[in-house]
Structure 1
Amino acid sequence: MFISNYRFMRPSDEARSRSVWMTTARSNYTHLLYNARKNAQRICHSVDPTLWRERTLTWMRRDYWEGLCNIWAAERWQETSTTMKVNRTVNPEANKHTSGSVSFATHQSRLEVFDKTHKKKGTDQYISDRAREVTMTEKYAGEEEQLQLDPEVWVAASSA
């Protein structure tokens, strides 16, 4: 509908606009569903998603809402939800900085920019120990779980 009413100056603008639109919509939809679950829980005075089915949202088709309620009621989803809540509670530091799903190329590009802005010109030395630590944490994020190292070993490994 938008394309039939408006035109872009350059063909590349359409692709960029579509990408921004999809990213924004994806993020907003996640929050929208979270709020829908919380509101259904509050209105129904129950944490049981099977009881929420009758509280169809005005902006969503009934069969979609019922399907979501079925997913939320499934044992696997409940277990995952509980696990994630526990993880967020146990390690609040891990949840301070999030950037969503980021491709390897984007992540690598960000690290390169960080290196360029936090290293002394003409050398491979960081301007501070803190900058070096941040870079090591960023470069090897996620490997800590894969290697199943304790924090002392991880710090030693990332400093090498």
Structure 2
Amino acid sequence: MDYGPVWMRRDYWESLCHRWAIGPWQERSHAAKHNRVAHPKKNVHTSGLVSYATHSQKLRHELERAPTFRELFDRTHKQKGRMTMSVRVLETYDRTMADRYEEGTFQPDLDPEA
């Protein structure tokens, strides 16, 4: 609790710490830890403690070029064999990008407005 983020007011940080330390939150946390251990292949969002920067570096090495936003998203969000919310979000993003940019014109790697 003594090492909160510098961008957050101290009283907000303390109230969050107190909330995280009690009943329902701890029960959900324990269940999530149990599920991550029981189903390690399903836990692919960040592959445990691997950061996006590390995923990006590994992908850069594999592809021998900088990965696109889409490639990095696929690596960190998809669960094999399942239609997840992130896959649906990505499909919506792809449709929006196709509607916004004509084929053959410049299309940015990431359009935050899309």
TM range (shorter): 0.3 to 0.5
Q: Higher helix proportion, which one?
A: 1
Whose Rg is larger?
A: 1
Between the two structures, name the one with larger relative contact order (CA 8 Å, sep ≥ 6).
2
